[in-house]
Amino acid sequence: MLKGKIALITGGGTGIGRATALRFARAGAVIAINYAHSEQEALATKKEIEATGAVCRLYKADLTDDAAVRAMTTQVAADAGGLDILVNNAGRTRFIDHADLEGMKEEYWDEIFALNVKGTFFCCRAAAAELRRSRGVIVNITSIAGLNGLGSCLAYSASKAAEISVTKSLARVLAPEVRVIGIAPGIVTTRWVKGHEDHIAHLAGGTPLGRVAEAEDVAEAVYGVVAHGGFITGQNIVVDGGAFI
């Protein structure tokens, strides 16, 4: 379904981004992976993708820098001949108890919102013209934290609520040429939650499916709405094993 489609995945070297890049590659897409700091992981993911026979290129860019985002998007389109899919997966958090109001420092708010909200918007804006031409798709990786106000810290939850709102707004603004969809995971077993295994085990026991998500579970949902969800836009689809019901 995605043969020859060009997909840019932010934070694509690790976790959900990596799993999504590999899923798209297996479906025949041309992959562009953005990273900011995780160069070795991005290179390893590129090698895995190329082993499937797919084309993969890497692009280092700070997504909180609008000029850098615009330059990256222009380069992706020039290298690959366009852009069909944007997956905004890159994100940032800190693990701070919601009740620790003094621990939630101003700089943490700023850094989390800068990437999770502003960075997502910058990428969507920079890609909009190419995606309109290709009648493409944007998928924003949000979180159930943006729905239930829980999660790793108060600022993260608020940033994901904002990202869900941006998703809805852009679905209206970019229609009918571009679909914009949110995928909202619960806890996912990525490096983000390393060291919090007891917390994960507790959460897994509380879900109807009896486990938390793997990155591949989320990647399948992303693939599904891109490849088969042609009449879906503006929605925030929860992928959490039934925890948020």
Side-chain half-sphere CA neighbours of 232 within 13 A: 18
Partnered with residue 7 across adjacent β-strands are 31, 85
CA geometry: angle 193, 197, 200, nearest 5 deg: 80
3-state class of 225 per DSSP?
helix
Q: Which is catalytic among the residues 35, 59, 108, 156?
A: 156
Show Cβ contacts of residue 150 under 8 Å, excluding neighbours closer than 6 positions.
98, 144, 157
Q: 């709102």: which residue's tokens?
A: 165
Q: 């994100």: which residue's tokens?
A: 91
**Known catalytic residue: 156?**
yes
Q: 């985002």: which residue's tokens?
A: 69
Q: Distance between CA atoms of 86 and 75, rounded to whole angstroms? A: 14
Partnered with residue 88 across adjacent β-strands are 140
- Residues tagged active-site: 156
